Amino acid sequence: MKIALAQLNYHIGNFEQNTQRIIENITLAKAKGADIVVFAELAICGYPARDFLEFSEFISLCEEAAQQIAKHCVDIACIVGLPIKNEVLEGKDLYNAAYFIEDGKIKAITKKALLPTYDVFDEYRYFEPNTKFECIEFKGKKIALTICEDLWNINDNPLYVSCPMDELIKQSPDVMINIAASPFNYRHDEDRIQILADNAKKYKLPLFYVNQVGAQTEIIFDGGSLVFDETGEVKAEMKYFEEDLQVFDVDEIQNVKNKYPQPDRASDITQIHDALIMGIQDYFRKSGFSKAVLGLSGGIDSAIVCALACRALGAENVMAVLMPSKYSSDHSVKDALDLVNTIGCKHEIIEIKEAANAFDSMLAKPFTGLAANLTEENIQARCRGIVLMAMSNKFGYILLNTSNKSECAVGYGTLYGDMCGAIGVIGDVYKTQIFELARYINKDGEVIPENTIVKPPSAELRPDQKDSDSLPDYGILDQILFQHIELQKGSKAIIAQGFDEALVQRILKMVNLAEFKRYQTPPILRVSPKAFGMGRRMPIVGKYMA
């Protein structure tokens, strides 16, 4: 039996396009001699469809698409994920399911049992967990089909009490197939391989795993579909951050060692780089835009976003706006222009002095006798926000946000100013990682100017300002933030590791007080195990650690 794994880039709710891509790949798999082609979890509607799932017309469209796909499953079978109605009217309205289609007909339905609700996941909001398990018989073989998380309760994972494969194995299957929507983070690929290998080993069965690829706003799928033999050895690893279709012979895979070469594991920074490129591309393509605008300050954050945007969209589609003020250093404009000239994107220079002066004058009466302070710094940042949004509105550019994760965490940014944008490109990348990313971007020749990388970070909103005036050294800050955000440690646990008590308390307080700002920031491309956004839901008017 030959199995094709089709690793595709779906678009949430775009039934026409998803259906067309699925049908194209059924045809392709058939041409390559496959007996069955396997698509990912919820492939028909895209993942995560969120509250679209609560609209019954949306669910009907999924079913209609499946019927259309079924017509093309002649001389080839197909497994494809979609939400289906829970007809018994007890429990949640839906199941997260997969259809097994053969001879143009839906022959079997598999439902997901383990529904993640941690981090970015909300599956229990929509789906009833499955409790009945049955293998699929096809071409004389029994297939144990599971959906994503269903294989993740191995190794005594305490999160789940049931184990779908422990039920399915009683029916003596010949092969395991798992269809997934497994979001990328730079630590996830190795965990995924380990968990899946452990399943193959435990159940002594070959395992075919198909993931999806592409970004759905903030959530990025990296692909990397996998094949294991019954000893848990990786026999094939499909492309990362690209669509792919490969055909495997089930009987051959069990006997032949290392037929399919494995690439070297990519570094965290390589993966982050590729994920961000895909995140930008898919945000634009799936929302029907092609051109980006951003503010280019001469600093490292906006330089990196500019470089990534040019790689993702083409330099000809990127407009960099330089907006110097009286506090901008001489080198800022030069560094920004050096980048623009190297990279070949469009640029405008628009000084903000006139608008900043206008606000000073308009506010002179209410502000009489009061010294300039953070208010006036914020006005400058917000004037830049207006200019960028005006460029966006006038020319149909999408504004890219350039805030990094360290700034987002401690609230070192101006709401409605530098925190504007449709999508946060590097909001899940700590400042210390930003420097690594700059070096990675420059690995084949200087793109980000050296001076941009080595100069001390500054917001340049008052004379001789440096980030280090307000914030601790990024090396220390990022370590403490990682403990608190990624590892969810409180102040006591972090202090116990030897960090300065007052510093830890100050930073955690800043993180919590900035919750009201983060609530209003753009969605952020998720590349870490714990990004700001849907995966981290904090009270705003809450007092813990604030």
Pick out the residues of the known binding site.
Answer: 118, 182, 295-302, 378, 402, 407, 517
Give yes or no for a contact between 8 and 213, defined as CB atoms under 8 angstroms apart.
yes
Q: DSSP 3-state assignment of 223?
A: strand
Give yes or no for a contact between 306 and 439, defined as CB atoms under 8 angstroms apart.
no
Torsion on CA atoms 150, 154, 157, 158, rounded to nearest 10: 70
Q: Is 120 near a second copy (CB under 8 A)?
A: no
User: In angstroms, what is the minimal distance from the CB of 35 to a second copy?
Assistant: 33
In one-letter notation, the amino acid at residue 314 is G
Give yes or no for a contact between 494 and 483, defined as CB atoms under 8 angstroms apart.
yes
Catalytic one of 112, 235, 405, 489: 112
Q: Is 493 near a second copy (CB under 8 A)?
A: yes
Instruction: State which of positions 247-276 bind a second copy (CB under 8 A).
Output: none
Binding mask 310-349 for a second copy (x = CB under 8 A): --------------------------------------x-
Pick the piece of the chain touching a second copy (CB under 8 A) from 25-33, 182-190, 243-251, 415-423.
415-423
In one-letter notation, the amino acid at residue 362 is M
Q: How far apart are CA 474 and CA 452, in angstroms?
A: 16
* Residue 436 appears among annotated catalytic residues: no
Three-state secondary structure along 511-541?
HHHCHHHHCCCCCECCCCCCCCECCECCCCC
Residues annotated in the binding site for deamido-NAD(+), as ranges?
378, 407, 517
Number of neighbouring beta carbons within 10 Å of residue 287: 12
Q: Is 496 near a second copy (CB under 8 A)?
A: no
Q: Which of 20, 160, 334, 342 binds a second copy (CB under 8 A)?
A: 160
Instruction: State which of positions 430-489 bind a second copy (CB under 8 A).
Output: 488-489
| Cβ closest to a second copy, residue 171 vs residue 290 | 290
Q: Is 378 near a second copy (CB under 8 A)?
A: yes
Pick the piece of the chain touching a second copy (CB under 8 A) from 22-30, 359-367, 444-452, 466-474.
359-367
Q: Is 155 near a second copy (CB under 8 A)?
A: no
Q: How many residues bind a second copy (CB under 8 A)?
A: 95
Exposure string of 179-212, with b = 16+ CB inside 10 Å and e = fewer, is: bbbbbbbbebbeebbebbbebbbbbebbbbbbbb
Quick one: tokens of 273? 């780089």
Pick the piece of the chain touching a second copy (CB under 8 A) from 184-192, 232-240, 443-451, 531-539.
531-539
| Cβ closest to a second copy, residue 15 vs residue 435 | 15
Q: Which of 255, 257, 445, 492 binds a second copy (CB under 8 A)?
A: 492
Task: Compute and round to an integer the Cα radius of gyration of the chain.
Answer: 26
Pick the piece of the chain touching a second copy (CB under 8 A) from 164-172, 174-182, 236-244, 375-383.
375-383
DSSP letter assigned to residue 317: G
Q: Which of 7, 38, 52, 461 binds a second copy (CB under 8 A)?
A: 52
| Cβ closest to a second copy, residue 163 vs residue 438 | 163
Quick one: tokens of 73? 């499953």
User: In angstroms, what is the minimal distance from the CB of 348 to a second copy?
Assistant: 5
| Cβ closest to a second copy, residue 375 vs residue 497 | 375
* Residue 167 appears among annotated catalytic residues: no
- The dihedrals phi and psi of 446, each to the nearest 5 degrees, come to -65, 120
Reported as half-sphere exposure (CB side, CA atoms, 13 A), residue 114 has a value of: 21
Q: Which of 6, 42, 48, 229 binds a second copy (CB under 8 A)?
A: 48
User: In angstroms, what is the minimal distance from the CB of 242 to a second copy?
Assistant: 19
Quick one: tokens of 527? 């590349």
- What Cα–Cα distance (Å) separates residue 497 from each residue in 475, 485, 490, 501? 15, 16, 11, 10
Instruction: State which of positions 70-99 bind a second copy (CB under 8 A).
Output: 89-92
Q: Which of 352, 400, 481, 507 binds a second copy (CB under 8 A)?
A: 352
Q: DSSP 3-state assignment of 8?
A: coil
User: In angstroms, what is the minimal distance from the CB of 311 to a second copy?
Assistant: 20
Q: How far apart are CA 447 and CA 470, in angstroms?
A: 29
Q: Which residues contact 64 (CB under 8 A, 6 or more apart)?
A: 15
Q: Which of 19, 182, 212, 216 binds a second copy (CB under 8 A)?
A: 216
DSSP symbols for 78-107: EEEEEEEE-TT-SSSSEEEEEEEEETTEEE
* Residue 41 appears among annotated catalytic residues: yes
| Cβ closest to a second copy, residue 74 vs residue 540 | 540
Catalytic one of 30, 41, 291, 383: 41
Q: Which of 438, 523, 527, 531 binds a second copy (CB under 8 A)?
A: 523
| Cβ closest to a second copy, residue 257 vs residue 492 | 492
User: In angstroms, what is the minimal distance from the CB of 479 to a second copy?
Assistant: 18
Q: Which of 28, 389, 476, 503 binds a second copy (CB under 8 A)?
A: 389
User: In angstroms, what is the minimal distance from the CB of 540 to a second copy?
Assistant: 5
Greatest Cα pair distance in the chain: 87
Number of neighbouring beta carbons within 10 Å of residue 76: 21
Give yes or no for a contact between 193 and 55, defined as CB atoms under 8 angstroms apart.
no
User: In angstroms, what is the minimal distance from the CB of 46 to a second copy?
Assistant: 7
Say what angle helices 501-513 and 474-481 make with each other, to 10 degrees.
70
Give yes or no for a contact between 416 and 440, defined as CB atoms under 8 angstroms apart.
no
| Cβ closest to a second copy, residue 154 vs residue 447 | 154
Q: Which residues are catalytic?
A: 41, 112, 148
